[in-house]
Amino acid sequence: MSVSPNPEFRPILRFQTPVASVPGASAELAEVPRIELHSSRVSKYLDVLFRYSLLICSISIIAVMALFFYELTSRSKLSIAKFGFHFFTGDTWDPVSGDFGAMPFIYGTLVSSLVALVLAVPLAVGVSVFVTELCPRFLRGIISFTVELLAAIPSVIYGLWGIFVLAPLLRTYVEPWLAKTLGWTGLFTGPAYGIGMLAAGIILAIMIIPIIASITREVLVAVPQSQREAVLALGATRWEMVRMAVLRNARAGIMGGVILGLGRAIGETMAVTMLIGNRPEVAKSLFAPGYTMASVIANEFSEATDDLYLSALVEIGLVLLIVTVVVNACARLLVWSITRGNPARNNG
């Protein structure tokens, strides 16, 4: 017999007194057994009240989501009506003459997020495989905890570090080297400012690694041990075991983690604002400064004076909201299908 951990068992006796003193209930006290007391009216009302107040709490989540869409749509009407689809293709952003096109921001967001994914995905998968399959047991906890800490660092501190450490490093060492060796691709040309798309992409990669890594680790752990043993028993090397048994079974979940990381990269604001250079132009070179959707909102929102300007910024926010909701919904569905599903289903 295990002893109940619940300290609330004794107070039940105390609890009977107040209910018994409920007017109306006391008359029946003499002949009716105790059980009847607890289903007295007050208790029933409290139960219903409790249930409905919790229901309201849970509705608040849906309400918040609906409110986001409603507020952002209604506040961006002006810009939607004026520019229509041209908003996404126009590349002038001129608050003075009231001409707004979001093309440079969409481009900047896409490029910086892509750079981040290219750098982050192999590293995140690598570190997860290292933690789950290779490293000694005592290191596991330490590495996962450290990666968790990486996720807890605020965006603004990444930005601060990026400005004063990463950007000078890129300017003096990395960018000249890249220009020399990979300049022919056209991606690494032009003056090395340090600050630009590449810097933003690198800082984003550092920021999304923990997200991808934690989900990847979760799905790798969910791969049944018997799968690994079966492949090893056939004489596979470590790499072959990981490739055939682990990664193949976990690929949908890893994909979910990657999409989740993409969602974070698209919406990330502060660190990118501090590092991307904030110039609304479409340049092929990754050294060139750019601008993202989130950072234009951060920089200009509180300075937007006329209605159209504000409305255009809110429309960018709306696009950001829709994109991240779609991306996150896809990722969640993928991850849910892995971690909630029966492990046996992943054999195929």
Partner 1 sequence: MASLSRPLSVWRRFTNICFISFSGVAAFLVLAPLAAIFGYLVYKGIGSITWSFLTHTPRPVGEPGGGMANAIVGSMMILGLGSLIGVPLGIGSGIYMAEFGKGRYVTFVRFTADVLNGVPSIVVGIAAYALVVLPQQHFSALSGGVALGIMMIPTIARTTEEMLLMVPNTIREAALALGIPQWRTTLQVTLRTASKGVITGAMLAFARVAGETAPLLFTAFGNQFWNLNPNQPTAALPIQIFAYAISPFDEWHRQAWAGALILIVLIVVAVSAVRVVTSRGSMANNA
Q: Contacts with partner 1 in 86-115 (CB under 8 A)?
A: none
Check if the beta carbon of residue 317 is closer than 8 Å to that of residue 200. Answer: no
Q: By CB under 8 A, is residue 327 in contact with partner 1?
A: yes
Give the interface segment with partner 1, choosing from 96-104, 132-140, 177-185, 221-229 (CB under 8 A).
132-140
* Angle at alpha carbon of residue 112, lines to 296 and 316, rounded to 5°: 30
Q: By CB under 8 A, is residue 294 in contact with partner 1?
A: yes
In the complex, what is the shortest distance from the CB of residue 21 to partner 1, in angstroms, rounded to a whole number? 16
The single residue among 37, 179, 231, 258 that binds partner 1, judged by CB under 8 A, is 37
Q: By CB under 8 A, is residue 234 in contact with partner 1?
A: no
Exposure class string for 32-53: b at 16+ Cβ within 10 A, else e: eeeeebeebeeeeeeeeeeeee
Give the interface segment with partner 1, choosing from 96-104, 186-194, 282-290, 312-320 (CB under 8 A).
312-320
Q: By CB under 8 A, is residue 138 in contact with partner 1?
A: no
Q: By CB under 8 A, is residue 146 in contact with partner 1?
A: yes
Nearest to 154, CA basis, from 66, 268, 40 = 268
In the complex, what is the shortest distance from the CB of residue 7 to partner 1, in angstroms, rounded to a whole number? 8
Give the interface segment with partner 1, choosing from 56-64, 77-85, 184-192, 249-257 (CB under 8 A).
56-64
In the complex, what is the shortest distance from the CB of residue 191 to partner 1, in angstroms, rounded to a whole number? 20
Q: By CB under 8 A, is residue 143 in contact with partner 1?
A: yes
**Three-class HEC string of the chain:** CCCCCCCCCCHHHHHHHHHHCCCCCHHHCCCCCCHHHHCCHHHHHHHHHHHHHHHHHHHHHHHHHHHHHHHHHHHCHHHHHHHCCHHHHCCCEECCCCEECCHHHHHHHHHHHHHHHHHHHHHHHHHHHHHHHHCCHHHHHHHHHHHHHHHHCCHHHHHHHHHHHHHHHHHHHHHHHHHHHHHHHCCCCCCCCCCCHHHHHHHHHHHHHHHHHHHHHHHHHHCCHHHHHHHHHCCCCHHHHHHHHHHHHHHHHHHHHHHHHHHHHHHCCHHHHHHCCCCCCCCCCCCCCCCCHHHHHHHHHHHCCCHHHHHHHHHHHHHHHHHHHHHHHHHHHHHHHHHCCCHHHHHC
**C-beta of 194 vs 285, nearer to partner 1:** 194
Q: By CB under 8 A, is residue 306 in contact with partner 1?
A: no
Instruction: Looking at residues 147 to 206 of the shown chain, list those that interact with partner 1 (rule: CB under 8 A).
Output: 147-150, 152-161, 163-165, 206
**C-beta of 97 vs 137, nearer to partner 1:** 137
**C-beta of 2 vs 97, nearer to partner 1:** 2
Instruction: Looking at residues 2 to 31 of the shown chain, list those that interact with partner 1 (rule: CB under 8 A).
Output: 2, 4-9, 11-12, 15
In the complex, what is the shortest distance from the CB of residue 116 to partner 1, in angstroms, rounded to a whole number? 13
Q: Is 2 left (phi over 0), alpha (psi -120 to 50) or beta?
A: beta
Q: By CB under 8 A, is residue 221 in contact with partner 1?
A: no
The single residue among 1, 27, 64, 233 that binds partner 1, judged by CB under 8 A, is 64
Q: By CB under 8 A, is residue 58 in contact with partner 1?
A: yes
- Count residues near partner 1 (CB under 8 A): 104
In the complex, what is the shortest distance from the CB of residue 186 to partner 1, in angstroms, rounded to a whole number? 26
The single residue among 30, 61, 81, 96 that binds partner 1, judged by CB under 8 A, is 61
Both tokens assigned to 301? 């929102």
Q: By CB under 8 A, is residue 242 in contact with partner 1?
A: yes
Q: By CB under 8 A, is residue 123 in contact with partner 1?
A: yes
**C-beta of 122 vs 191, nearer to partner 1:** 122
The single residue among 167, 208, 223, 274 that binds partner 1, judged by CB under 8 A, is 274
